[in-house]
């Protein structure tokens, strides 16, 4: 486990993490440092474009694994089930109302793509070579958790969720999913030839862009934490740390059952451990307007995201290496 | 210059609800409106700002509709059905317009 | 607090016409105005949105002028000459202002 | 639909002063407002535009507050204390609102 | 002609085209995927900056061809004349009003810079080395067509165009032309030394940026097509495909008369074949506000642009190679 | 001094300067060329991020010089004192009111980060290797001049400056300073290892991004000059050229006293010579709203910035080389 500590220490002093911390610190100090909204969206488009494409090219290179379809299915099932676990945990550990607990639960079944990207970086520097289609698994895990959360409200809540027809289409076709899957498919079709054309755009500058993006995430997370201190009870805080670890456990089991490589297992753990902060919040505003956004945003962006980024991923890596490796 | 009485209705609503609101307006045969961006705000649900936002979950927009006075009530009914459970503000102002045939 | 009667004129017009409109306003000695961005809209000429636009051909802006009541007519005349052949909306609201000496 | 009388106060102010204005509003217990971006403008201090700006020194914003009529005076006092030495415009319009309990 | 098919097939599966198709598909599926306006403008500034500069450096390298001035003149003449052809065709093939037909005609005399960029890419991958000053030809072809369109309205229409003095200045000094020509001149002045300084910015990432830009174009074109289906009669559709081919024919003749290299001929064909979607629409909104924008935008962006991108350019390349090549 | 002329000529035809000139020319010709605000802010975030990080890595490489702390202190003192000199000069040379003169003076004690970046470029091409911590000196010189200006008003003016508590915090924590210092510290911590990760993002494309940024600066400076011609008396114009030269003299003395390398002396001269156009104008709008912004912006951005960029830096380089070199 010595290696783990080294990796964790190394991870903590990588520019990526340090720029996140800079963002949080600037927000706490009430600096007016900010990334314009259009630039932040541009950075996120770049990241989705790049990782989708790389994933597709990697599938083109290594051929389709027989486990691809199974992994997609497993991801979907996890995304459906994790919210139930999260909901049970929240009802036990906190005093959130049904609506708030269901809304939070939905976030933890879904995924955070930046956490996924960070884990991919760590995997690559650790010499692992995760299955390229994990990007597609990430995409299919975005949405099912939302339906789960709405089902929980319908089942346990007094109020009903606003499940109009438009919503499901909107969730499935949300911009991030379409771009990620689209870039993945294009990478798959064009393979190495396509990669050669655009590699200088999506590979060399990638880590630098990621630093800027994490600076922005730090600013947002910091501002959120500063303003939502009041909602953050010890119970909620504990949930924000325990739930990702439990999720990672389920991801571990699934990844090992599927027989993925250590890198793939690490990514599955990370997906299960991470919580959405874009797609699910937007859906919750529409379908569960009564749920308090500062609770779910603070938990997802202010607690679980930094936890995974700093401590979670190195731990998941150590475990994946120990159990799925060599 | 000849002007005509009209009402201007401003609806401040979450960006995620914009499409639903404008669909409801179209259904109520209100086909003229303008959407203004909103930078930041404060209300009973706290303060927010658009800076550094990545998703659409947080922002709001201002939808302005100018209508003939007799069309205000159907407009408000349609708007209210959408904003009812949501945060946001609906206000109505008396105004005068040029080119009344357009409304 | 002491306030003074004034009128607020809002002109929603294509972005390509903005310069022409503000030039016309200056000629009519209306030198105070504020331009607000517009995100999307709908009217007799259909719906549009600013997302992903590259050129200036599609967007609109909202030009607001606050003037003393007696200056409304020259303002409307000037504005009308510009918007006449174009799409867009002109509306007038009664308002009160602080610091009347500024208008 | 049941509406209630209210006032809408629009304050056009330099972006650098926004935080100071909203702090003053909060102190005056005006906790509901919406900030709209401003693209360009013209006034006694000349013309300006947001295009290509790098810093915050040049731009302006529009802060809109809807309040119950009896709250207008404290609001204007608070706003005036901030804008007094600064450029910008304060205007008040009569309006009606839905969901009066929110104001 | 076997090579042509191969090139066409290759072209159709290049990431550039595929991202355009992704954009169109996302728009048709009503996904909320979108590129922020500021980012789209930023991408277009990057492209103009890069191709202008590269063109200038190439002129600095190869010296001024004696045909440079003739090419500029020829481009201007083409831009003036093509709208007349387009107008005649539209009056024959469709029922557009004089105003609408003139407005559309103006678009086809002018040019689309992205189509030009795409053709340059194809030329380079085919081993051709087009004259660097073709960038300047592109710039001079932007504006004359607008005057042509207004002249057609004055000549054949009942209503007069709004030809105020400000307009011509505005057209000639529009941002794209100034940036393109400015970067061209700077590239020319600084030559290889300048190129060495900024090559890593304008060369390596170029294709990747182009992919993102075409994704955005696809989104806009798709949204336009979806909303303007009603205006798109078979006659208009046919015009949108026939006119570029005719234009390319004129470009071919001009390029061969001037004695350009096959690459130069290809670019001349492409310029003549392409239709404006930025400068001309803006001018038409000012000068011919009665013309229906959904007609000219749908034709230019929804029909002719994709046609040139996918089928047109490979055909023009085959023809240029066959007639002007070795 | 032959070398100086060559450097000056070379500098004048570098793409960076030429794009600045393009911007000014486009603004004077009233072209509608413009860089969207979000993109301009994005470019400036990129530059601060990159130079901060590079400075930090260079400190990590070369170890902390014993003069680091002294340089920071000296920078602070200069920033406090230069406004007094500027104010005296302005009262002698122009008829500005106390308020206007104090506001202008504040700008000249503070610094322009783009001028600093341009000087760094020139230093590097001249084979110099400035101390990495000069970035930190730049950061500490931003703010003190503002306090100086307010003190001048309080001392010589009738009106008092609006020195509320919030202002100082706002100045010290303004976004540019936080990002610059933050990136510097992160570069220092992560050193070469961090640099390797993000070098392709912050090194290779740097000069190209700088060109775009200077295009934007040219557009803004040109627009400002066009609109503010009326305020620009000969006295003010002379001040805008003399003050940077005097400032550079103080920078030279300080740099030589500190025993900096020729590159470090050049940068110290440049910092002292340059005038702020972001942080100080914002602070002046808050604290001295009666001061006329077109005076200080026109001087700083329209006169002193172009002077330093084109003539100043090559002169400072020659002097630094002659006096501090070999
Ligand atoms: N009194 C008000 N005046 C103007 N805007 C308001 C007001 N109250 C709320 N808003 C806007 O509506 C949003 C949601 O308000 P609320 O539902 O009170 O949280 C706020 O963020 C503001 O943008
Ligand atoms: N009744 C209305 N209320 C508010 N804005 C309108 C209205 N009608 C038109 N507009 C705005 O003016 C633009 C052009 O309208 P039109 O000329 O009707 O196509 C629309 O896209 C809207 O932004
Ligand atoms: N009469 C007016 N109507 C609307 N906006 C105005 C008016 N006067 C000034 N403004 C706005 O307030 C800013 C500062 O005005 P001023 O203090 O007159 O220079 C201008 O740039 C405009 O954005
Ligand atoms: Na998860
Ligand atoms: Na053409
Ligand atoms: Na200085």
E169-192 pLDDT, tens digit per residue, is 888 999 999 999 999 999 999 999
> Which residues have beta carbons under 5 A from ligand 4 (an ion)?
A 274
Q: pTM of whole model > 0.90?
A: yes
Torsions phi, psi of E270, nearest 5?
Answer: -65, -40
Give the number of other Cβ atoms within 10 Å of residue A144's Cβ.
22
Q: Which two tokens stand for residue F66?
A: 């014993």
pLDDT score of A7 more than 80: no
Q: Are A300 and A276 in contact (CB under 8 A)?
A: yes
Mean pLDDT in chain A? 93
Query: Candidates B38, B44, B84, B89: which one to mutate for ligand 1, based on the most atoms within 8 Å of Cβ?
Result: B89
Q: Are A262 and A325 in contact (CB under 8 A)?
A: yes
pLDDT score of E1 more than 60: no
E112/A168 Cα distance (integer angstroms): 38
Give the number of other Cβ atoms within 10 Å of residue D41's Cβ.
26
Residue C61: name the closest of C18, C9, C25, C8 by CA. C18
Which DSSP string corresponds to F198-223? Answer: HHHHHTTTHHHHHHHHHHHHHHHHHH
Instruction: Looking at the CA of A294, name the nearest ligand.
Output: 1
Chain D residues in contact with F297 by the CB 8 A cut-off are 57
Ligand 3 pocket residue status of D21, Cβ below 6 Å:
no
Across residues E60-67, what is the average pLDDT? 84
The pLDDT, as a whole number, for residue F245 is: 98
F309 three-state secondary structure: helix
The pLDDT, as a whole number, for residue C58 is: 67
Contact across the interface for B35 and C37, Cβ inside 8 Å:
no
Residue A120: which H helix or E strand, with range?
helix A113-125
Residue A304: name the closest of A267, A272, A258, A262 by CA. A272
Contact across the interface for A197 and E14, Cβ inside 8 Å:
yes
Residue F175: name the closest of B58, A29, A306, E38 by CA. A29
Looking at the DSSP assignment, which residues form a beta bridge with residue B94?
A: B7
Residue D4: which H helix or E strand, with range?
strand D4-14
pLDDT score of C49 more than 90: no
Ligand 3 pocket residue status of C33, Cβ below 6 Å:
yes
Q: What are the tens digits of pLDDT across the range E207-217?
A: 999 999 999 99
Q: Which stretches of F94-143 are DSSP H helices? A: 98-109, 113-125, 134-141
Across residues E140-154, what is the average pLDDT? 95
A163/A166 Cα distance (integer angstroms): 8
Lowest mean pLDDT among E3-12, F104-113, F251-260: E3-12
Instruction: Looking at the CA of F273, name the nearest ligand.
Output: 6
In sequence order, the 6+-apart residues with CB closer than 8 A to the CB of F326 are: none
Q: Report ipTM (2 d.p.).
A: 0.95
Of E34, E207, E208, Cβ closest to residue A175: E34
In sequence order, the 6+-apart residues with CB closer than 8 A to the CB of F20 are: F214, F215, F217, F218, F221, F306, F309
% residues pLDDT > 70 (chain A):
97
C36/A258 Cα distance (integer angstroms): 55
pLDDT score of B57 more than 60: no
Q: Which residues from E are below 8 Å from A when comparing CB atoms?
A: 13-15, 18-19, 22, 25-26, 29-39, 42, 204-209, 211-212, 215
Q: Are A279 and A171 in contact (CB under 8 A)?
A: yes
Q: Which two tokens stand for residue E124?
A: 């380079």
Contact across the interface for C47 and E227, Cβ inside 8 Å:
yes
Give the strand pairing for D33-37 and B89-97.
unpaired
pLDDT score of B54 more than 50: no
Within 70-99 of C, beta carbons closer than 8 Å to E belong to 85-87
The pLDDT, as a whole number, for residue B12 is: 95
Q: Are B34 and C12 in contact (CB under 8 A)?
A: yes
Residue C59: name the closest of C18, C9, C10, C103 by CA. C18
The pLDDT, as a whole number, for residue E2 is: 59
Q: Which domain holds residue A80?
A: 2-324
Contact across the interface for E174 and F42, Cβ inside 8 Å:
no
Q: What are the tens digits of pLDDT across the range F218-277?
A: 999 999 899 888 889 999 999 999 999 999 999 999 999 999 999 999 999 999 999 999
Give the number of other Cβ atoms within 10 Å of residue B93's Cβ.
21
The pLDDT, as a whole number, for residue E324 is: 83
Cα angle vertex E71, ends E68, E72, to 5°?
90
CATH classification of the domain holding A192: 1.20.1530.20
Q: Is B55 on the interface with A (CB under 8 A)?
A: yes
Q: Are A133 and A107 in contact (CB under 8 A)?
A: no
The pLDDT, as a whole number, for residue A256 is: 96
Residue A81: name the closest of A103, A99, A112, A106 by CA. A106
pLDDT score of F324 more than 90: no
E41/E28 Cα distance (integer angstroms): 23
Q: What are the tens digits of pLDDT across the range E237-285?
A: 999 999 999 999 999 999 999 999 999 999 999 999 999 998 999 999 9
Q: Is A22 on the interface with B (CB under 8 A)?
A: no
Residue B96: which H helix or E strand, with range?
strand B89-97
Ligand 2 pocket residue status of B103, Cβ below 6 Å:
yes
Chain A residues in contact with F202 by the CB 8 A cut-off are 208
Chain D residues in contact with C94 by the CB 8 A cut-off are 93-94
Ranges of chain D whose pLDDT falls below 50: 52, 54-56
Q: How far is the CA of E86 from the centre of ligand 5 (A)?
A: 10
The pLDDT, as a whole number, for residue D20 is: 93
The pLDDT, as a whole number, for residue D99 is: 81
D93 three-state secondary structure: strand
Mean pLDDT in chain F? 93
Q: Locate tokens 């001087």: which residue?
A: F299
Which band of pLDDT confidence, cut at 50, 70 and 90, is reported for residue A66? confident
Which band of pLDDT confidence, cut at 50, 70 and 90, is reported for residue F326? low
pLDDT score of A167 more than 90: no
Across residues A99-125, what is the average pLDDT? 96
pLDDT score of A43 more than 60: yes
Number of domains in chain A: 1
Q: Are E280 and C56 in contact (CB under 8 A)?
A: no
E148/E157 Cα distance (integer angstroms): 13
Mean pLDDT in chain D? 89
Chain A residues in contact with F182 by the CB 8 A cut-off are 19, 22, 25-26
Mean pLDDT in chain E? 93
Q: What are the tens digits of pLDDT across the range E212-234?
A: 999 999 999 999 899 888 889 99
| Summary count for chain D: helices (H), strands (E) | 2, 6
F290/F2 Cα distance (integer angstroms): 47
Q: Which two tokens stand for residue A261?
A: 């490589």
Which band of pLDDT confidence, cut at 50, 70 and 90, is reported for residue A79? very high
E75/E81 Cα distance (integer angstroms): 10
Residue F304: name the closest of F253, F223, F239 by CA. F239
Distance from CA of E132 to the nearest CA of A (A): 22
Across residues F44-54, what is the average pLDDT? 97
The pLDDT, as a whole number, for residue C92 is: 97
Cα angle vertex F244, ends F239, F249, to 5°?
125
Residue F123: name the closest of F325, F322, F313, F326 by CA. F313
Torsions phi, psi of E55, nearest 5?
Answer: -60, -45
């Amino acid at each position: 486990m010595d290696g783990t500590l080294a990796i964790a220490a190394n991870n903590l002093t990588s520019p990526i993490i340090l720029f996140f911390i800079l963002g949080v610190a600037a927000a706490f100090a009430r600096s007016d440092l900010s990334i314009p909204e259009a630039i932040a969206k541009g950075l996120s488009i770049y990241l989705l474009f790049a990782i989708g494409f790389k994933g597709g090219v990697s599938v083109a290179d290594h051929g389709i694994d027989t486990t691809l379809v199974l992994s997609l299915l497993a991801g979907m099932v996890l995304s459906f089930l994790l919210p139930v676990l999260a909901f049970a945990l929240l009802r036990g550990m906190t005093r959130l109302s049904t609506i708030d607990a269901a809304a939070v639960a939905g976030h933890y079944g879904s995924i955070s793509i930046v956490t996924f990207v960070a884990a991919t970086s760590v995997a690559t520097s650790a010499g692992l070579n995760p299955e390229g289609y994990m990007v597609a698994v990430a995409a299919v895990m975005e949405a099912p958790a939302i339906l789960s959360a709405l089902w929980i409200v319908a089942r346990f809540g007094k109020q009903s969720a606003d499940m109009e027809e438009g919503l499901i289409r909107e969730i499935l076709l949300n911009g991030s999913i379409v771009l990620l899957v689209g870039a993945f498919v294009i990478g798959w079709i064009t393979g190495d030839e396509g990669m050669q054309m655009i590699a200088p755009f999506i590979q060399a500058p990638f880590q630098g862009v990621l630093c800027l993006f994490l600076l922005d995430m730090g600013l947002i997370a910091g501002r959120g934490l500063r303003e939502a201190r009041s909602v953050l009870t010890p119970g909620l805080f504990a949930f924000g740390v325990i739930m990702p670890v439990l999720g990672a456990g389920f991801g571990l089991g699934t990844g090992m059952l599927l027989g993925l490589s250590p890198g793939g297992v690490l990514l599955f753990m990370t997906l299960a451990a991470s919580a959405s902060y874009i797609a699910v919040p937007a859906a919750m505003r529409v379908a569960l307007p009564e749920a308090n956004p500062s609770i779910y945003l603070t938990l997802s962006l202010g607690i679980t995201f930094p936890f995974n980024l700093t401590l979670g991923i190195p731990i998941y890596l150590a475990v994946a290496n120990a159990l799925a490796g060599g | 210059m000849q002007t005509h009485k009209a009402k201007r209705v401003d609806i401040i609503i979450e960006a995620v609800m914009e499409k639903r609101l404008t669909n409801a307006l179209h259904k109520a045969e209100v086909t003229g409106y303008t959407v203004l961006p909103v930078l930041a705000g404060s209300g009973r649900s706290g303060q927010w700002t658009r800076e550094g936002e990545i998703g659409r979950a947080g922002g709001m927009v201002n939808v302005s509709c100018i209508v003939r006075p007799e069309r205000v009530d159907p407009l408000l009914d349609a708007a209210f059905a959408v904003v009812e459970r949501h945060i946001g503000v609906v206000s109505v102002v008396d105004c005068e317009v040029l080119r009344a045939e357009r409304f």
